[in-house]
Amino acid sequence: MAFPDIQSFVRVLEERGELVRVSTPVSRELEITEIADRLVKAGGPAVLFENVRGSEFPLVIGMLGTRERVALALGVRDLDDLAKKVRDLIDLKGSGGLMGMLGNLPKVRDAMNLPPKRVNTAPVQEVVWRGDEVDLGKLPIMKCWPLDGGPFVTLPLVITNDPETGERNMGMYRMQVMSKNTTGMHWQRHKTGTRHLEKAKKKGQRLEVAVAIGGDPALIYAATAPLPPIPGLNEFALAGYLRGERYPVVKGVTVDLEVPANAEFILEGYVDPDEPWVEEGPFGDHTGFYTLPDQYPLFHVTAVTMRKNPVYPATIVGRPPMEDAYLIEASERLFLPAAQMILPEIVDYHMPPAGVAHNLVVVSIKKEFPGQAYKVANGLFGLGQMMFAKVIVVVDEGVKVNDMDAVWKEVTQKAVPGRDTLTGRGPIDVLDHSSRGWGYGGKLIIDATTKRPEEIGSPKSSRDEQAQDFALDIFLPTAEADLPTFEGVLAQRQTDDGYWIVSLNKRRAGQSRQLAEAFASHPAADGVRHLLICDEETDVNDIGDVWWTILNNIDPERDVWELDGLLAWDGARKLHSEGFVREWPPKIVMDRAVQERVDALWHVYGLPERVR
């Protein structure tokens, strides 16, 4: 089912009981965030706020806040069907005579939906603001978190054309409102928008930019998808394929760019590559931490076009799980067939919410030879945006990659620390606050597959000796209640599957390492294989909180050590006194006063009590 626009999708959600309307006045500063955060974490409905203070436009949020709603948005019954849809498209028959070729016709028709369709008139151009009429303050743009540098457009579809080739690109880059007609443009160093801006600078010209707000759910998803750099394959093409019909586009009013005809708003303008960059941020990001202020280009808005009665779509990011987790899962399913074409032994893969996309990838393989887990992991590091992955765990084909309890048990049972763990380095997401350098840091591979004889024993073992070392693989986890003390330890516990979790109030250089060495030599370490050292804000009884903190706060090459058969992960904060020169960001926490106000008004909003 193809949705012509956001408003049609909102109507369907409301008919299905998956959207509620709130007519009570709400604040775009923090209040909407607190409501939306509670709802998405509880699997609750989307919300249409009809009365946002300071704006005449309603705001909808949480449209893609469950796996089921994302599947509905993309026209499939289940997200797993996306993999089948792509596999069917790329599996064209090349034999069987005329009848064999005729069997390709349905797939060819699907492929014909890839190019967008130019139209002459569009709903999104029914109202036009130009020049002094432009005032971004009239839109219900949210300030999401207490320490944010200002209001941010959180669901922008940013459109540019390559100044040299004309190839179009659409990406989702947050935009901080700087004035009534300017915003920051968060083009990170690896993003296509940055390359377009660099090319415009070489040609001595401004880069035209159009920002769509709205469109339809398939296009919003497509703007987040990690598309490979294939000529002619862009976000409009992907959305057209998912919709099953060519995507309608219209030429901008003041820019020579094609924009989605079915959007709610379009911001038209330019970025001048010769203009000084501006400070953007902080921003409560998808990592669950604040991204600290940095310098980014300035986007000048010269016109705003819109429908006569538009709805402003928004999202929030922050501590997982959030709405973006389901978009990430859609990309997993969509690109699984492509990964399997390159690495055919892959059975499945998953990027769990605790890993906030790039910090953790779990992949299951059909193993046929020794070393295959490392072959697959290193292959994944070379695939597009998978280059940003920090930790890759490889498991056997029978393990469900989205069952994290099962995955972590496999890790303790089948991965001997040191022998079956390997660190390296490479590109890292620039939003990673713990890496050794900006966009550059350590990586970790954990081979939790069943071992072949050649994989047993130390690296110096001969082939004959390796097969005799299976006894080293036998691990019987035990959880001790009587645990040692150490300076700064606030709480700790051991799990039944071989993990020792510690919350540490770290105040001096080397404190984590000394703790790890002391605990590794203690008898209580006999029944564990992993020591997880977290910061002082981590709840050791919440395993999701533990792994989210660990994965955010480590550079594996620097912070993961093997000590006498124990793998220690230093997820405590890093200090200037130990050589970490960047500022350590705070975790995102909502103001208590806002939480209390939402508590008091929940029944007034008319929101369901079950998800309060």
pLDDT digits (tens, 9 = 90+) for 147-182: 999 999 999 999 999 999 988 889 999 999 999 999
> Residue length, the chain?
612
Tell me the residue ranges of DSSP E strands in 82-140: 117-118, 127-130
Give the pLDDT confidence of 520-561 residue by residue, as tens digits: 999 999 999 999 999 999 999 999 999 999 999 999 999 999
Per-residue pLDDT, 15: 96
Q: Token match 């960059």: residue?
A: 277
pLDDT at 303 exceeding the cut of 50: yes
* pLDDT score for 101: 38
pLDDT tens profile 482-535: 999 999 999 999 999 999 999 999 999 999 999 999 999 999 999 999 999 999
- Whether the upstream peptide bond of residue 273 has omega within 30° of 0, thus cis, is no
By DSSP bridging, strand 312-314 and strand 298-306 are: unpaired
- Comparing 387 with 114, the larger pLDDT belongs to 387
Q: Exposure of 96 by Cβ count < 10 A (0-12 exposed, 13-18 middle, 19+ buried)? A: exposed
In this structure, what are the phi and psi dihedrals at residue 82, rounded to the nearest 5 degrees? -65, -40
- C-alpha distance from residue 398 to each of 145, 329, 367, 456 (Å): 41, 20, 11, 21
Sheet holding 421-427, edge to edge: 346-350, 360-365, 391-396, 440-448, 421-427
Q: Are 472 and 463 in contact (CB under 8 A)?
A: no
| pLDDT of 112 | 56
| Model confidence at 189: pLDDT above 60 | yes
Residue 465: pLDDT band by 50, 70, 90 thresholds? Answer: low
pLDDT at 609 over 50: yes
Q: Indicate the range of 75-79, 88-92, 403-407, 572-576 predicted with least confidence.
A: 88-92
- pLDDT, tens digit, 9 for 90 and up, residues 377-386: 999 999 888 9
pLDDT of residue 459: 62
What is the band of 113 on the pLDDT scale with cuts at 50, 70, 90?
low
Per-residue pLDDT at 300 exceeds 70:
yes
Query: What integer is the mean pLDDT of 321-327?
Result: 92
Whole-number Å distance between alpha carbons of 362 and 352: 8
Interatomic CA distance for residues 49 and 560, integer angstroms? 46
Bridge-based pairing state of the strands 489-494 and 207-214: unpaired
* pLDDT digits 0-9 by tens, 67-76: 999 999 998 8
Q: Is 216 a catalytic residue?
A: no
For residue 282, say if its preceding peptide bond is cis, omega within 30 degrees of 0: yes
What pLDDT, on the 0 to 100 scale, is given for residue 464?
Answer: 55
Q: Which amino acid is at 121?
A: T
Q: What is the pLDDT of residue 99?
A: 42
Q: Is-contact 178 301, C-beta < 8 A?
A: no
Out of 57-61, 222-226, 357-361, pick the least confident: 222-226
What's the rounded Cα separation, in Å, for the pair 44 and 46? 7
Report pLDDT for 239: 86
Tell me the pLDDT band of 92, cut-offs 50, 70 and 90.
very low
Mean pLDDT along residues 434-447: 94
Of 353, 349, 287, give the one whose Cα is nearest residue 325: 353
pLDDT at 463: 56
How far apart (Å, rounded) are the C-alpha atoms in residues 611 and 603?
Answer: 12
Mean pLDDT of the chain: 91
Could you give the 3-state DSSP secondary structure of residue 424? strand
Q: How confident is the model at residue 462 (pLDDT cuts 50, 70, 90)?
A: low
Range name among 11-15, 273-277, 417-421, 473-477 with the lowest pLDDT average: 473-477
* C-alpha span between 62 and 74 (Å, rounded): 15
Do 510 and 578 form a contact (C-beta atoms < 8 A)?
A: yes
Looking at residue 470, what is its pLDDT?
Answer: 52
20-40 mean pLDDT = 97
Q: Which residues are 265's β-sheet partners?
A: 213, 306
For residue 449, give the nearest of 340, 371, 529, 342 by alpha carbon: 371
| Backbone phi, psi, residue 421, to 5° | -125, 145
Query: What average pLDDT does range 50-61 have in this prediction?
Result: 98
- Identify the DSSP state of 364: E
Q: Which one from 5, 37, 285, 447 is the annotated catalytic residue? A: 285
CA atoms within a 13 Å half-sphere pointing along the CA-CB vector of 153 = 28
Residue 91: per-residue pLDDT: 59
pTM, rounded to two decimals: 0.91
Closest CA to 543 of 487, 493, 485, 479: 493
Distance CA 225, CA 383 (A): 14
User: pLDDT band for position 105 (50/70/90)?
Assistant: very low
Alpha helical stretches, state H, 135-208: 192-203
